[in-house]
């Protein structure tokens, strides 16, 4: 999956629901003769690092993040594990930063300092 993500190549239909200005800016045809395949634009691709991480283990110390996207992963964890993980996310996210989870998920219990801003979108206190 990491190799696939790192290639950043998709069937053109994958962009169907993405507005045109974003498609043009962030994706390019993989090959001019094959418009059915598109690729993440090189300048965007160069900003992304792909690595595996077991959320249950120690995390690399890379400093605080502005946005944390953890979609449909906590569905595997029991309530205490999920609560601990969310607390770790809160510590990881910069003040005013964002946490995005899957649309079928919710944060259990109370997590002071994290506020619901939209459908499964949370913001840490600035």
Ligand X SMILES: C[S@@+](CC[C@H](N)C(=O)[O-])C[C@H]1O[C@@H](n2cnc3c(N)ncnc32)[C@H](O)[C@@H]1O
What are the residues binding ligand X (CB under 6 A)? 53-56, 71-73, 76, 102
Distance CA 36, CA 97 (A): 36
Smaller CB separation from ligand X, 47 or 56 = 56
CB of 83 to ligand X, least distance (A): 15
**Residue 94 neighbours by CB under 8 Å, 6+ apart:** 64, 65, 66, 124
Question: Are 28 and 15 within 8 A, CB to CB?
Answer: no
CB of 1 to ligand X, least distance (A): 7
Smaller CB separation from ligand X, 26 or 100 = 100
Distance CA 72, CA 85 (A): 13
Smaller CB separation from ligand X, 36 or 72 = 72
CB of 58 to ligand X, least distance (A): 12
Q: Hey, is 78 helix, strand or coil?
A: coil
């Amino acid at each position: 999956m990491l190799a696939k993500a790192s290639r950043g190549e998709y069937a053109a239909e994958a962009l169907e629901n993405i507005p045109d200005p974003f498609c043009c800016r962030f994706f390019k045809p993989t090959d001019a003769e094959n418009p059915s395949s598109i690729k993440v634009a090189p300048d965007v691709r160069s900003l992304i690092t792909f690595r595996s991480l077991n959320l249950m283990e120690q995390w690399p110390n890379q400093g605080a993040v502005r946005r944390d996207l953890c979609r449909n992963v906590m569905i595997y964890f029991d309530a205490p594990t999920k609560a601990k993980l969310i607390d770790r996310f809160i510590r990881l996210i910069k003040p005013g930063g964002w946490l995005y989870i899957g649309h079928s998920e919710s944060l259990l219990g109370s997590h002071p300092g994290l506020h619901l801003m939209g459908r499964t979108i949370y913001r840490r206190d600035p």
